[in-house]
Amino acid sequence: MLFTAGTVVTGPNLLRPGWIEVAGTCVVGAGEGTPPGPPDRDLGDVTVVPGFVDTHVHGGGGGNFSAASSDETATVVALHRDHGTTTLVASLVTAAPEDLVRQVAELAVDVRAGRLDGIHLEGPWLSTLRCGAHQPLLMRDPDPVEIARVLDVGGGAIRMVTIAPERDGAIAAIRQLTAAGVVAAVGHTEASYDQTRAAIEAGARVGTHLFNAMRPIDRREPGPVIALLEDPRVTVELIADGVHVDPAIYRHVTRSAGPDRVSLVTDAMAATGMSDGVYHLGPLAVDVVGGVARVAGTDTIAGSTATMDVVFRYAVTHGGLARDDALLSAVRQASINPARALGLPASGLVPGAPADLVVLGPALEVEGVLRRGEWVVEPR
C-alpha cells in the first residue's frame, strides 16, 4: 500500500508533502514530494506520525490490567488503540506475591498472542514513603527468589520493573533484572542522590514518571530527580497530561535531558475514556472528578485519565518550540524514545519498522490508526 499525506513525520524527518509505502506488516519506504507510483490512498491535508508507544498504562475504558482477565485486557487495549497507541506495555501495581504471579501469568498470554507488547511491574519493591496509589502494606524488599519466580512465570514478557533503590537488596535486584534482559527503572522512591547513582551504575536505565512519587529536589540533597536527569544513559518518563507536571517543568526537563531522553507516558487507569466516578487501581478505590483521579478520600493522584494523543498534543503545544520542531520533538518522545528505552521494535516510519501510524487532523486529533499494516481506525 502506498499512502500520501500533506505532512509525514517519520521520526528523524518531517516530509511535506510526504508518502509512505507499506508491505504486509512493515514500512518499506517513505519520502518527500512525488511518490514512486500512484497512491493507493491519498490521506489529504493531514499529519501522519508513527504509532504511539505507551510503556506505562494500567487500564482504560473501565478495564484494569490488575484484574488479569482476557476480557479486561481486550477492553483496555481497544480504548488505547482508538487513541493511536499501537504499542502498549501493561503496568501492574503492587500486589501480594501469589496475586502478582497470577497477574503476570495471565498477561504473559496476551503478550505471546500479540495483544500486548510487554509487562511493566510498578511494584511491589517500592518505598512506603512514596507509595502514591499503591497499597503500602503490600510493599516489600526485593527478594531474589521472588524475582526469579516472577520472571520465570513471565517467560520473557516482563519488559520493565520499577524499584526503589534504597530498599534492602535493591541494588542486587537491579543487577539481577538487568542480567535477565529486563529494564530496571527508578521510581516511587525516597532515595538520595548517591543511592540513585548507585542504582544507575548497577544498570537502572529509566526514571518512572519523573517528579511524581519521588523525593523532591533540595538544594543540599539533589535526590533522584537530578541523578536521573544528568545521566545520559537514562530515559525519563513524563506524564504530560496537564495534571502531573507543570508546563514549565516539562520544558525544563526536555531542555535539560534533551528530547531524545524523554518518554511520554499516560499512566492511564481504568477511568480513561469514561465518565467521572469511582474506579479501582489495583486494590485501591479511586475517585475521578473532573477527569482527575485520586485515591479515595485523599489528595493523592492515582494515575491519569489521559491517552497518548492527549500527551502528544500537550508536548506539541507546551514545548516552547516552533510547530515543525515541536512535531519532531513530540514524535521522538511519544514513539521513538519509549520503544528504544524498553528494547521494543524500532518505531518510526522508516524502512523495516512496523507499519504503525496515526493520522492526525488539524487540531492533532486522531482520524486514523494503522497497526501492523491494518486499519484499527479507518480514516475519514
Active-site choice (117, 231, 267, 309) = 267
**Three-class DSSP category at 117:** coil
Please say if 267 is a catalytic residue: yes
Distance CA 202, CA 72 (A): 36
Cβ distance 42 to 83 under 8 Å? no
How far is it, in rounded angstroms, from Cα 103 to Cα 160? 15
For 43, the grid coordinates are 490521506
Query: How far, in Å, are 7, 11, 117, 246, 355 from residue 351 at the CA level?
Result: 18, 12, 21, 37, 9
* Ordered strands of the 7-9 beta sheet: 14-15, 7-9, 47-50, 357-360, 366-371, 374-377
Please give the span between the terminal C-alpha atoms of the chain, in angstroms, as a whole number: 17
CA angle 326, 329, 333 (to 5 degrees): 130
Which residues are annotated as catalytic? 267
